[in-house]
């Protein structure tokens, strides 16, 4: 099935050879799909005029069609990377996986990342839409630590119990019964 690509309001047809190497790109009229050609009317400096022989459409571009062709190819090739995993080498954390869960009352955002030392980390952000409760938990499996952001609500205000089970230890946060408050 033939594909036409719309870019910069023009239609583009891409032709490949038998080895799937790019051979040619043809720019087409967006109204009738006829190949556009250079207009015979006078051009001002930095103006590029094209016309359709079939429907008479004329257009003025800010770049030549050959320069637009390069832009089109760059955008076309970028589609190859749309689902690529991004490894961020500029920041401390490198995202490995992310899960986002929401319902009418609560939101949870969980991220598994790696730090500069390539150690695994887990961050869980949870909050209520109806109240001002928000907590952020951090799990460090390498050092078997469970921590939370002191600037947010205590995890006991959002969760009834949080348990982190590591290889050699367990860490937990839960609401103490009233008679056992310390």
**Residue that finishes a domain, picked among 81, 106, 140:** 81
In contact, 147 and 124? CB cutoff 8 Å = no
Distance CA 63, CA 83 (A): 30
pLDDT at 80: 84
Token pair for residue 70?
């390069």
Q: Is residue 89 part of a domain?
A: no
Q: Is residue 24 part of a domain?
A: yes
Structural domains of the chain, count: 2
Based on the domain organization, do 38 and 64 belong to the same domain? yes
Based on the domain organization, do 73 and 17 belong to the same domain? yes
In contact, 138 and 164? CB cutoff 8 Å = no
pLDDT at 130: 75
Based on the domain organization, do 53 and 118 belong to the same domain? no
* Residue 114, domain extent: 94-180
Based on the domain organization, do 109 and 169 belong to the same domain? yes
Based on the domain organization, do 150 and 104 belong to the same domain? yes
Token pair for residue 179?
């008679």
Based on the domain organization, do 65 and 107 belong to the same domain? no
Model confidence band, residue 45 (pLDDT cutoffs 50, 70, 90)? confident
pTM of the model: 0.42
Flag whether pLDDT at 112 surpasses 80.
yes
Based on the domain organization, do 27 and 100 belong to the same domain? no
């Amino acid at each position: 099935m033939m594909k036409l690509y719309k870019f910069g309001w023009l239609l583009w047809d891409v032709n490949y050879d038998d080895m799937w190497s790019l051979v040619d790109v043809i720019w087409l009229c967006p109204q009738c799909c006829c190949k556009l050609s250079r207009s015979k009317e006078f051009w001002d400096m930095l103006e590029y005029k094209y016309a359709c022989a079939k429907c008479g459409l004329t257009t003025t571009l800010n770049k030549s069609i050959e320069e637009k062709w390069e832009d089109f190819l760059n955008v076309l090739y970028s589609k190859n990377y749309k689902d690529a995993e991004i490894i961020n080498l500029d920041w401390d954390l490198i995202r490995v996986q992310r899960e986002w869960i929401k319902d009418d009352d609560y939101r949870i955002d969980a991220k598994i990342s790696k730090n500069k030392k390539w150690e695994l980390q887990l961050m869980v952000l949870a909050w209520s839409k109806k109240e001002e409760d928000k907590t952020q938990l951090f799990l460090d499996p390498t050092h078997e630590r469970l921590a939370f952001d002191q600037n947010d609500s205590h995890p006991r205000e959002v969760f009834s119990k949080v348990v982190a089970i590591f290889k050699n230890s367990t860490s937990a946060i839960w609401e103490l019964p009233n008679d056992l408050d310390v």
